[in-house]
A and B are shown apart, each in its own frame.
Chain A
């Protein structure tokens, strides 16, 4: 059959662009060629294993920084797929414009740029390819705080946010930190999404004024009466101890004495939700207490605070 003899040349990319396109069309209708292409592709992949050479170490950070700024393309629909890649394993397309991902997955990935490239309200968001879309686009499962451009005073305080949030887990410059919601906790995801879409959502730095090595951020919405804590750096917990959240009306000694106990936690791998009424709080604090938590806190056990 015409064209079958080109299968070898096709697999080793020895056809011209025209020939390649014509052969791809041939593949749509030729089972045996498709089968051979598959087998030969696995063969050449095995060849690659034999000539493996590590790339320059610096390449890793560059690649990760670049992909952090773009989204995977959505899956092809059935028609497009059959036209595109029948028989061939992939189509090397030239760089296509990126689009926001539509929700075909239940994960919520929240990205906070560690160092915003531009802080002016007018600058278009180049970082994520979301273009001019609505920041609270409900159909997207990727919510980017960089989109929440502020025209309002104090909203999202980027200077503070940039310093406070930093990069959790990833060391390379330009990569983003991530708060990751567990994929199957629908409620947590909804709450998180809602918090992020709150018009009054604020990112507040958590730090210590008494020299403790702590760093973190709260994401707070008074309207929704919700707050979430993300640790960047916390001391190692001694045995039998836990961290505990507190809400205070302000930073006075009196307020400390009357602080309201909130959740305890021992892991800083994930975001920590506060419970109850936080709408009236003026200060959030974290202390180290015995397992089980305490009813009252004192300044000695407080690790750090965040002023709302």
Chain B
């Protein structure tokens, strides 16, 4: 007999087959999150939380703070999802920019009561440098890239390390490295250029 089969509202929308690269997939997930789809946001979290959390952890060092800041970052990503502009850069760059900013804010607010100079001086130069850069280097298995990183001068690496992973202002970095501020600014920029080239990044 012909009983009408249910006219269900239809299947869940699926991702377009054209979302081939991860970058495109992330952009699609952000776009769907912006429309309130929390399943898309959950996928976005699954794909990016290790990178976000890993970077935050390098900056704030404390796992508890890292977890808190990571949560704040993802809530902000959700809130800002309708304002992500693909023409301005990749989703990951957008997320990491937000994450890094919050991580640095957390480091600075936590250590406001303690002189940051003291904190820095209490650890050796080696320890500060190695923790972050070892992890970076361990992940690289491309000789070309390794060479590129090695090509960064000592001061470039130190300056970026202190600024990016340490959360110090460039003025503080200048004081710690006992260099003029102008030199520090240049070294940071040159270091970033070196890193950019070493990783073959194009915007």
On whether the beta carbons of A8 and B5 are closer than 8 Å, the reply is no
Cα(A242)–Cα(B78), bound, Å: 40
Given A39-B202, A43-B192, A54-B53, the answer on whether A244 and B3 have CB atoms closer than 8 Å is yes
On whether the beta carbons of B96 and A41 are closer than 8 Å, the reply is yes
Q: How close is A237's CB to chain B, nearest CB, in angstroms?
A: 13
B residues near A109, Cβ cutoff 8 Å: 35-37
Most interface-central of B41, B184, B189 (chain A CB within 10 A): B189
Q: How close is B53's CB to chain A, nearest CB, in angstroms?
A: 4
On whether the beta carbons of A101 and B199 are closer than 8 Å, the reply is no
A residues near B76, Cβ cutoff 8 Å: 92-93
**Complex partner residue of A55 from B4, B33, B66, CB under 8 angstroms:** B66
A residues near B136, Cβ cutoff 8 Å: 47, 50-51
A60 within 8 A of B: yes
B169 within 8 A of A: yes
Interface residues on B, range: 35 or more
On whether the beta carbons of B170 and A273 are closer than 8 Å, the reply is no
**Complex partner residue of B54 from A48, A107, A264, A295, CB under 8 angstroms:** A48
A residues near B45, Cβ cutoff 8 Å: 60, 63-64
On whether the beta carbons of A182 and B51 are closer than 8 Å, the reply is no
On whether the beta carbons of B11 and A85 are closer than 8 Å, the reply is no
Cα(A54)–Cα(B164), bound, Å: 20
A residues near B89, Cβ cutoff 8 Å: 38, 41-42, 89
Interface residues on A, range: 35 or more
Q: How close is A2's CB to chain B, nearest CB, in angstroms?
A: 12
Given A67-B75, A72-B81, A270-B11, the answer on whether A45 and B49 have CB atoms closer than 8 Å is no
Given A14-B173, A55-B70, the answer on whether A40 and B82 have CB atoms closer than 8 Å is no
On whether the beta carbons of B49 and A60 are closer than 8 Å, the reply is yes
B2 within 8 A of A: yes
On whether the beta carbons of A92 and B52 are closer than 8 Å, the reply is no
A1 within 8 A of B: no
B123 within 8 A of A: no
B residues near A14, Cβ cutoff 8 Å: 163-164, 168-170, 173, 188
B94 within 8 A of A: yes
What DSSP secondary structure best describes chain B's contact surface? helix
B residues near A169, Cβ cutoff 8 Å: 39
On whether the beta carbons of A11 and B67 are closer than 8 Å, the reply is no
User: Which of the segments A73-81, A112-120, A250-258 contacts the partner chain?
Assistant: A73-81
On whether the beta carbons of A39 and B201 are closer than 8 Å, the reply is yes
Given A46-B199, A101-B36, the answer on whether A8 and B185 have CB atoms closer than 8 Å is yes
A residues near B41, Cβ cutoff 8 Å: 64, 67
On whether the beta carbons of B11 and A269 are closer than 8 Å, the reply is yes
Given A75-B82, A273-B8, the answer on whether A45 and B96 have CB atoms closer than 8 Å is yes
Q: How close is A52's CB to chain B, nearest CB, in angstroms?
A: 4
Q: How close is B147's CB to chain A, nearest CB, in angstroms?
A: 16
What is the 8 Å Cβ interface bit string for chain B, positions 6-46, against chain A (1 contact, 0 not)? Answer: 11111111000000000000000000011111110110011
| Those of A8-40 within 8 Å (CB) of chain B | 8-9, 11-16, 35, 38-40
A259 within 8 A of B: no
Given A72-B34, A188-B10, the answer on whether A9 and B71 have CB atoms closer than 8 Å is no
* Chain A to chain B contacts (Cβ below 8 Å), 10 pairs: A41-B97, A44-B100, A48-B52, A51-B136, A56-B63, A98-B79, A142-B36, A180-B12, A182-B12, A293-B2
Closest CB pairs A-B (n = 4):
A293-B3, A8-B189, A182-B10, A8-B188
